[in-house]
Amino acid sequence: MSKSPKETTSWESAESWYDRCVGEKGHYYHQSVILPSLLRLLNLSARSTGSFLDLGCGQGVLARHLPEQIDYVGIDSSASLIRDAAKQTKAKNCQFLTKDVTQPLALKKTDFDWAAFILCLQNMQDAKSALAQAGLHVKQNGLLLIVLNHPCFRIPRQSAWGVDEQAHLQYRRMNMYMSSLKIPIQTHPGRGEKSSTTYSFHYPLSSYIQWIAEAGFSVEGMEEWCSDKQSEGGKARMENRARKEFPLFLALLCRKNNSFF
147 closest CA partner among 42, 5, 245: 42
Q: Which backbone phi and psi does 206 adopt, to 5 degrees?
A: -60, -35
- Tell me, what's the pLDDT at 195? 73
3-state secondary structure 36-89: HHHHHHCCCCCCCCCEEEEECCCCCCHHHHCCCCCEEEEEECCHHHHHHHHHHC
Contact (Cβ atoms closer than 8 angstroms) between residue 149 and residue 226 = no
- Per-residue pLDDT in tens (0 to 9) along the chain, 261 residues: 334 444 445 667 666 666 677 777 778 999 999 999 999 999 999 999 999 999 999 999 999 999 999 999 999 999 999 999 999 998 889 999 999 999 999 999 999 999 999 999 999 999 999 999 999 999 999 999 999 999 999 999 999 999 999 999 999 999 999 999 999 988 765 555 667 888 999 999 999 999 999 999 999 999 999 999 999 998 999 999 999 999 999 999 999 996 554
| Phi/psi of residue 183, nearest 5 degrees | -120, 115
138/154 Cα distance (integer angstroms): 29
**Amino acid code (one letter) for 44:** L
Architecture field, domain 5-256: 3-Layer(aba) Sandwich (3.40)
Report whether 188 contacts 4 (CB < 8 A): no
Could you give the angle at which helices 79-88 and 15-22 cross, rounded to 10 degrees?
30
Parse the chain into domains and list their residue ranges: 5-256
How far is Cα 79 from Cα 254, in angstroms, rounded to an integer? 29
H/E stretch holding 186: strand 181-186
CA distance 229 to 207: 31
**Under a CB-based contact definition with an 8 Å cutoff, are residues 196 and 14 in contact?**
yes
Contact 214, 132 (CB under 8 A): yes
Where do the H-state alpha helices sit in the chain?
Answer: 5-9, 15-22, 28-29, 35-41, 79-88, 127-137, 205-214, 236-245
